[in-house]
Amino acid sequence: MLQKLLSLVLCAATVLPVHADEAEIRKTIEAKFGGKVESVAKSGYLGLYEVFAEGSIFYTDDKASAIIAGGQLIDTKTMKNVTDERMRKLTAIRFSDLPLERAIKQVRGDGKRVLATFEDPNCGYCKRLARDLLKLDNVTVYTFLYPILSEDSVKKSRQIWCAADRSKAWNDWMVEGKAPSGRDDCDTAAIAKNQEFGRKLNISGTPTMFFADGERVPGAMPLARIEQKLTQTR
């Protein structure tokens, strides 16, 4: 829906109705660009309305005469990234909705704290995350194989999933650099289902993490912040 829209920083004079309310903004944007708008709400800044659609946030004014896309809204008093904070709330899920049976499960210590990650075996940031997560204690980590970078990513994911010890195969590759070499012809339906599930959640990059409270964190995150977040949500 918003591919062409989100490639713009400012698209003026979008021929939206004057003095549009939230319902009118939703209706007009859906009609003009196709697809579904998830929500429209006042942003609390500069009279702008926040529009959330297809996993992205953009803004329009109270007259809906222009659209601001691809930028970040920053509160200059607190230097808080308002867009980032809202994205985390709008893209949060229920942890219980994750199909954990399709993930590689690693338990350390009492395993009471939980974290789920979507990762591609050829993702450099994922490899760094894998090394960091080994330093955590009293945690259960669910790793969803989510190969989106290449066909080789798919092959490695299948080999890791088919391994007798999936956790060892994953860490051997991600941490030690020992490429998987086993079979890849077992039942790997879980991987395809993970890809489909990830697309529904608009997961477009790896790693993507989900914490116990459902908060989504795309991309790299310092280990200290992961530890802090796990402690807050246990």
- Residue pair 140/106 in contact (Cβ under 8 Å)? The answer is yes
DSSP letters spanning 155-167: HHHHHHHHSSSHH
Residue 18 confidence (pLDDT): 39
Structure confidence at residue 187 (pLDDT): 97
Map out the domains of the chain as residue ranges.
3-90, 95-232
Assign domain 95-232 to its CATH architecture: 3-Layer(aba) Sandwich (3.40)
Note the pLDDT of residue 63.
66
Q: Which residues of 15-35 are buried (b: 16+ CB within 10 A; e: fewer)?
A: ebeeebeeeebbbbbeeebee
In tens, the pLDDT along 59-114 reads 887 666 778 888 888 988 899 888 888 888 887 899 999 999 999 999 999 999 99
Which positions ≥6 away from 196 have C-beta within 8 Å? none
Alpha-carbon distance of 7 to 224, in angstroms, equals 34
| Closest among 184, 71, 54 to 121, alpha carbons compared | 184
Question: Residue 13 has what pLDDT?
Answer: 34
Q: The pTM is what?
A: 0.74
Give per-residue pLDDT as tens, 6-45.
443 333 333 344 345 788 888 877 877 777 888 888 888 8
User: Tell me, what's the pLDDT at 20?
Assistant: 56
**pLDDT tens, residue by residue, 170-212:** 999 999 999 999 999 999 999 999 999 999 998 999 999 999 9
* pLDDT (0 to 100) of residue 234: 67
Measured at the CA of 43, the angle between CA 225 and CA 218, to 5 degrees, comes to 30
Structural contact between residues 119 and 93, judged by C-beta atoms closer than 8 angstroms: no
Q: What is the pLDDT of residue 92?
A: 84
pLDDT of residue 70: 80
